[in-house]
Structure 1
Amino acid sequence: MKTYETIELTLFERSATLTLNRPMVMNAMNATMMKELSDCFATLKKEPAIQVLLIKGAGKAFSAGGDIKAMLNTEEAFDMEEMMRYLKVMVEAYYTLPMITVAAVQGAAAGLGFSLALGADIIFADEESKLAMNFIGIGLVPDGGGHFFMTERLGAMKAKQLIWQGEIMEAKKAQELGLVDYLAPKGDVLAMADQMIGQLLASPILSMIETKKIIHAQKLPMLQDVLTREAAAQSRMRKTADHLEGIQAFVEKRQPKFEGK
């Protein structure tokens, strides 16, 4: 099995665990993690015995999203389009995995990290976790299929409004909205997710996977279109004064002053 720099993949007899592993930066996703996730999902597609995948974060968070501090590095500005290409490949591979995916969220799941969680078939969240589709706070649009996954769970109108608000939600509210399937008492999210995995593996899971394949095959062209549009929009937003102000305010821990430019 391959070893990775930013993630860990552990295979068991019929299940696997994928751990986002940059705990010192709350598992923020950089270009390396996106490449490694793409490779990981491609590897999993070649493991027919694996029927359930658990996705979790190392340390205190699931994932704080994209690595915002890296965005301030002007030397990396030219890499934005390349990163969006990695992201498109990653999300398509994730969405077409021939297994049931379970996300176990603790701490923060924000921005791209929230998109990754929302792409799972079943989502557990610690009752004290915080979830946010908060790209708006730095003058960007959701990526990683965030528009697609939010719309799938909420419908177009509610998805649009929540994306615009960029609210940091308590786990209970996220569950009430339908963005989270199960709430876990503090500290119990992995135990609850493991219990669900046991139930899945004791079910006629091949039938369940076939249902996933049928539904996802119908929806895949829409997801691919969303990913293409997100990449183009993100490239445009990246060049705006509002985006630069948003990330500078984030790093300086102050309220941004947006001017619609």
Structure 2
Amino acid sequence: MMYQTIKLVKEGRLARLYLNRPAAMNAMDDVMMKELADAFEALREDASVQVLILQGEGRAFSAGGDIKKMIDPESPMDIGKVMVDVSRLAKGLYSLPQVTIAAIHGAAAGLGFSMALGCDVIVAEEDSKLAMNFIGIGLVPDGAGHFFLKERIGVPQAKQLIWKGDVMTGSEAEAKGLVDQIVPSGQLEQAVSGLAAHLLASPIQAMLASKKILHTSKMNELADMLQMESEAQVAMRSTADHLEGIQAFIEKRKPSFTGK
């Protein structure tokens, strides 16, 4: 399958999926969200691949949702349609029959961070920047951000991280339990390739069977959370705080929120 915004490269039992909008720091527009969902659904049927590495081309893993595309007057993103693809993306990723590795360099923010958190293993450069920063533009996490955070760090810490929207280094994220392994800047490719080789030399069928057992038991909860995220995101898009957050982002100033 040919894609416009991502690249999928298969190397025997290993596959690499590259987010491929480097000029936009791999910010996700509606095309990328749909293509990611399509790619995950196709990989779900591919038993020949046992390890999948997700990584970003250029300077970042992903800067999150494409804010400029959200407000493009000529072709604005349809939030209802987008949320359908975002939900497909999250379900497809979580149900993959491969060990998934997120390889993070540069920024992993917003939806990009949600997707990374949905992977089985997260490897990040120590000086990378990670943020669940939807709150800065008056939105809620999507892409199952609530679900993946809760799974990794529990509800109390997930709320604090979502509400603050702080930017963390890879080292700070590891200390919070959000990253599994940190590596020095420039050593990410060597680290994730070594990890993939180790996994492929392990009894990986047993590992994948355990993943299926653990994840299948959570699918209904994931679907419920995605539905709630979609409904909340559509509602938040019409709030005054969201419009102020977007305007402040464009004008590069601190937003003035009013709770409306």
Residues 52-87 of structure 1 deviation map (CA, whole Å, 9 limit, x = unaligned): 000000001000000011122245557101100011
CA distance in 1, matches of 2:205, 2:59: 34
SS at match of 1:125: strand
Partner residue, 1:169: 168
CA distance in 2, matches of 1:95, 1:78: 25
Distance 1:76 1:231, change over 3 A: farther
Partner residue, 1:107: 106
Distance 1:238 1:76, change over 3 A: farther
SS at match of 2:185: coil
Larger relative helix fraction: 1
Runs (4+) off by over 3 Å? 74-78
Residues 219-241 of structure 1 deviation map (CA, whole Å, 9 limit, x = unaligned): 11111111000000001100001
Task: Report the residue type matching 1:40 in the other structure.
Answer: A
CA distance in 1, matches of 2:75, 2:120: 34
Distance 1:12 1:78, change over 3 A: closer
Partner residue, 2:207: 208
CA distance in 2, matches of 1:76, 1:153: 37
Do 2:122 and 2:180's aligned partners in 1 also have CA atoms closer than 8 Å? yes
Counting aligned pairs with the same residue, the percent is: 53
CA distance in 2, matches of 1:234, 1:76: 19
Partner residue, 2:238: 239
Residues 155-181 of structure 1 deviation map (CA, whole Å, 9 limit, x = unaligned): 000100110000001111100000000
TM-score by length of 1: 0.98
Structure 1: runs of 5+ lacking an equivalent? none
Task: Report the residue type matching 1:167 in the other structure.
Answer: D
Shift of residue 38, structure 1, vs aligned partner: 1.3
- Aligned positions, number: 260
Shift of residue 46, structure 1, vs aligned partner: 2.4
SS at match of 1:190: helix
